[in-house]
Amino acid sequence: MQKRKFVYLSMVLLAVFCFSSCEYDVIEVKQIVIPPDQEMSFSNDILPIFTSNCVDCHNGTTSPDLRSENAYNSLLSGDYLDTTDPENSDLYQKLQSDSHGARASSEEKQWILEWIKRGAKDN
């Protein structure tokens, strides 16, 4: 009986120790505001995001082809952009998906969403 009490007490102490040593960090997602009068350029603002985060996989073998010379036309022809409902655009939904290997930061994703909201122009 003493041995059983010792085992239970040991388990309780171990559980208390394990759970009390956990730290929780609050991750704050920084919401950026892109001023409406700030110009956005596909080639200067959006394409560099694809180049640094996406081209490793989307290099002509996986759709859409996001290499600089093909990115815009590939997004258009593949129906990845929906300027009438930007949050539901296939491009933005893929970026938000946990199952997708997107490495873009939350700020970069916001830039892409804003670009779609502004008509996804090739400028």
How high is the mean pLDDT in each 10-residue block of the chain (123 residues)? Answer: 68 65 56 84 96 94 95 95 96 90 90 96 94
Other C-beta atoms closer than 10 Å to the C-beta of 71 total: 22
Structure confidence at residue 34 (pLDDT): 85
- Taking Cα atoms as reference points, which of 98, 100, 107 lies closest to residue 80? 100
Q: Is 20 exposed, middle or buried (0-12, 13-18, 19+ CB in 10 A)?
A: exposed
Q: Decide if 66 contacts 74 (C-beta within 8 A).
A: yes
pLDDT at 20: 61
What's the confidence (pLDDT) of residue 103?
86
